[in-house]
Amino acid sequence: MSKILVFGHQNPDTDAVGSAYGFAYLAKEAFGYDTKAVALGEPNEETAFALDYFGVKPLEVVHSAKEAGSTQVMLTDHNEFQQSISDIRDVEVVYVVDHHRVANFETANPLFMRLEPVGSASTITYRMFKENNIAVPKDIAGMLLSGLISDTLLLKSPTTHQIDHGVAKELAEIAEVNLEEYGLQMLKAGTNLASKTADELIDIDAKTFELNGNKVRVAQVNTVEIADVLERQEEIETAIKEAIATNGYSDFVLMITDIINSNSEILSLGNNRDKIEAAFNFKLVDNHAFLEGAVSRKKQVVPQLTESFNR
């Protein structure tokens, strides 16, 4: 019988990889599933840092479950089908572990779903380890911790739940790292954007959302200096326009997030400039505007866009 593939979303970030890696092990040890953790894309520099630090081999990249020989899958860190594997509608979803909104999700059969409004899917996965009395190996603890740190910006994002603080402390102990020191090292590893082409930069961490019939692409890059990214605005805009034309996006919103000062610059192109401006109560000047205190796509960008597009 074929293995059940466990994976996070397309353009996987550290939480997508860490939660898939951890949940595949948990599902096997606690529930007896024959699982295999895979990824839907190559790891970004932040994730690569975490994988290397904890001695974890990068997950095999797959694009089709059936081509990989599987008819059953488990999803972590996402549930929206447009963010998932290419043939998601042709396979059976057995389990979902996620901390995002539920949208565009429908299955033919009943399934297990674990949804919590916490800071990361890795947080939920660790809680399930504890609930099922399964010991967490050091490398898995390290990857789950990395996913938590990534999605909460070291517990500073507004998406951080009070539960995340205790989980981070426990995982750091198991992984044998200093939470603050390791967290800063990992986050800074992901801000090296100079070597990225504009096409790569806008696709590092990007998700597509269906907003009232509009296909909106929302991407995010982390940096320690927003101005350095804006110096490349012309080439970034060219890449965005090509992405819009190729993929049929109505709008493309890029968050350029300063992880030190916890602010973002929003760079946006597309057909619904008025809705983008109304969502954040600002005016785009030269296609971008400052958004004070914004670091979370999930909590500070997507809900506001959803509301604006639905008006």
Give the residue numbers of the binding site for Mn(2+).
Answer: 9, 13, 15, 77, 99, 151
- For residue 66, the one-letter residue type is K
Confirm if 225 and 248 have CB atoms less than 8 A apart.
no
Distance CA 210, CA 282 (A): 23
Signed CA dihedral, 144, 145, 149, 155: sign only: positive
Residues belonging to the binding site are 9, 13, 15, 77, 99, 151
The identity of residue 55, as a single letter, is G
Q: Please say whether the dihedral angle defined by the alpha carbons of residues 94, 100, 102 and 106, taken in this order, is positive or negative.
A: negative
Amino acid at site 215: K
Q: Cβ neighbours of residue 181 under 8 Å, at least 6 residues apart?
A: none
The single-letter DSSP state of residue 4 is E
Between strands 92-98 and 72-76, the pairing is parallel
Ramachandran angles phi, psi of 194, nearest 5°: -60, -35
- C-alpha distances in Å from residue 191, one per residue of 49, 92, 180, 231: 12, 37, 17, 15
158 touches 300 (CB < 8 A): yes
Report in angstroms the alpha-carbon separations of 40 from 88, 99, 137, 150, 269. Answer: 12, 19, 24, 18, 26
Contact 287, 237 (CB under 8 A): yes
